[in-house]
Every structure is written in structure tokens, then in C-alpha cells.
Amino acid sequence: MATFDKVIPPGGEGKITLRIKTDKYQGSIQKTSSVYSNDPKKKVIKLTIKGLVKVPIYVSPHYIALYGKEGQNVTRVVEVSAKLDKPLKLIPVEFNLAEKLTYTIEEIEKGKSFKIKFTSTPSSNQPFRGFLKLKTNYPEKPEFTIWIRGWIQKKIAPKVKS
Amino acid sequence: MTLEELRMKRHWQLFVILVFFFSLWGNLSLAQKVQGPKMVLKDEVFDFNEVKEGTIVEHSFKILNVGDQPLEIKVRPG
């Protein structure tokens, strides 16, 4: 989001304020805004805000897409890792795609890193959209959601000319 | 032509060359004066280093108009 002084008089000073809400980011981020002006020598310049967003729990990715063809087992993996110096526990609390997908939670390193594996089922032949919500034992991040969408296309039988 | 006349001629030539260069330099200086709006930014990148998730990061970039006409700006994300 940006707020700025639209007109700056000769010899005057103005400001451009850029604002980022970091609640949907993790790790290093960089946001750029373009400034267009009537200065003939600087018609466009870029302003950048960058830095590192520290999270108690790293989730990658937050959004997954499962697209494939009927008969294929489409799988996506979400990695979850604890960034605080205490063991992490994950408890699934809500999953609204049970008919379309299955999932497993594998603890790679005890209390530290996990892999959540989503796999399509034969009944996932319609577009779908949903989520898996997990609770944690971290008061700093008591819950998080993994958003899912996808479509497993039915095989189309070739037409046979008689 | 006498030696004195030759000297005078050289002095005149030198004088004409100097007048030419000074007038050229003056014209260039005038051309360098800012005409129209001129945008000057103190910085174009802001590094907020580390913040906790959920923090709202805000930074104001200062802009100076050192020209002789109003500076108009628009800001678009991306």
C-alpha cells in the first residue's frame, strides 16, 4: 500500500510512504513500487522495501494445486519446520476435502520438521477447492491453514469411426 | 609587416579565441540550469532487516523537487 504527495512545488519536499503487512509472508521479502513523474529525466523510478520476516513455524508452500489426469496419483508435499527452540506438535483440526484427497503427516525430525503429503483419490475428477487446518502447541502461532485446489481430468475415450 | 605588427596580430587572435571559449562556456552553464520539474530522492531502497510475522512495515521516502516547475507523481505497486 502506498500514500504519497501528488504535487510537490518547486524547491519543496514531499514523501512517498510504502506499507507492507507481513502476516502473509515468511523469510526474505522484497516489494517494489513504481513512481511515475513529470520530470523528463526520471519518468519512472522504482522504490523497494526489503527484509526478512521471522516466523515461529515455516510452512512451504501455503497453497498447493493438484492437477492431473484420471488414473494418475497426483501428490504434493508441504514442508513444515519449527523455527523456535522448542518441540513443535501438529494436530489436524479441519479438512474439508476428505472425499477428494488423502493426507499423511510424517515427522522427519522429532518436534522440528514435518512433511504433509496430499494425494488425489479416484473421486477427485471435479474441480475442488478446500483446506487443511492444523493446530499447534506454539502460542506464537496457534494454528495455520494449507489451502488446496485442483482437478483430476477424466480420460476421454477416443471416438472410433465405424 | 613589422615585428610589432605581427605581435599585435597574435594578441588579437588570442583575444578572439579567448572570447569565443568564454562565451561557449557561459552558454553551457545556462543550459545546465534546471528547467521544469526535477525529482531528487535521498534513497530508493529501504531494508527493514528482521521483523516478526504480522508486523506492519512502513517507510517514507523523501522526495525533493529541485526544479522550477511543480513535480507531479503517481505511485503504482509492482
Query: Does A145 fall in a domain?
Result: yes
**Sequential pLDDT tens for chain B (78 residues):** 677 888 888 888 887 777 666 666 655 555 555 689 999 998 999 999 999 998 999 999 999 999 999 999 999 987
> Could you tell me which of A151, A129, A158 has the C-alpha nearest to residue A69?
A151
**Chain centroid offset of residue B61 CA:** 21
Residues A76 and A146 occupy one common structural domain: yes
Query: Does A113 fall in a domain?
Result: yes
pLDDT attached to residue A4: 94
Residues A85 and A117 occupy one common structural domain: yes
pLDDT attached to residue A137: 97
Tell me the ipTM for this assembly. 0.70
pLDDT attached to residue B11: 82
Q: Which residue has the higher pLDDT, B77 or A12?
A: A12
pLDDT digits (tens, 9 = 90+) for A25-50: 999 999 999 999 999 999 999 999 99
Query: Does B76 fall in a domain?
Result: no
Into how many domains does chain B fold?
Answer: 1
Q: What is the mean pLDDT of residues A115-132?
A: 87
Residues A89 and A142 occupy one common structural domain: yes
> Could you tell me which of A97, A93, A31, A118 has the C-alpha nearest to residue B48?
A31
- Which structural domain, as residue segments, surrounds residue A27? 13-53
How is residue A157 annotated by DSSP? P
Suggest the residue from B46, B60, B61 to mutate for an interface test with chain A (most A CBs closer than 10 A): B61
pLDDT attached to residue A68: 83
Residues A71 and A120 occupy one common structural domain: yes
Shortest Cα–Cα distance, A29 to chain B (Å): 10
pLDDT at A89 over 80: yes
Residues A109 and A45 occupy one common structural domain: no
- Which structural domain, as residue segments, surrounds residue B27? 3-65
Query: Does B77 fall in a domain?
Result: no
Query: Does B42 fall in a domain?
Result: yes
Neighbours of A117 (CB within 10 A): 13
Residues A133 and A61 occupy one common structural domain: yes
d(CA B6, CA B60): 69
A15, A49, A141: residue with CB nearest B57 = A49
Query: Does B13 fall in a domain?
Result: yes
Query: Does B75 fall in a domain?
Result: no
Interchain contact, A45 vs B44, CB within 8 Å: yes
Closest Cα in chain B to A37? B73
Q: Which residues of A touch B42 (CB under 8 A)?
A: none
Which H or E run includes A2?
A: strand A2-4
Residues A73 and A114 occupy one common structural domain: yes
pLDDT band at A62 (very low <50, low <70, confident <90, very high): very high
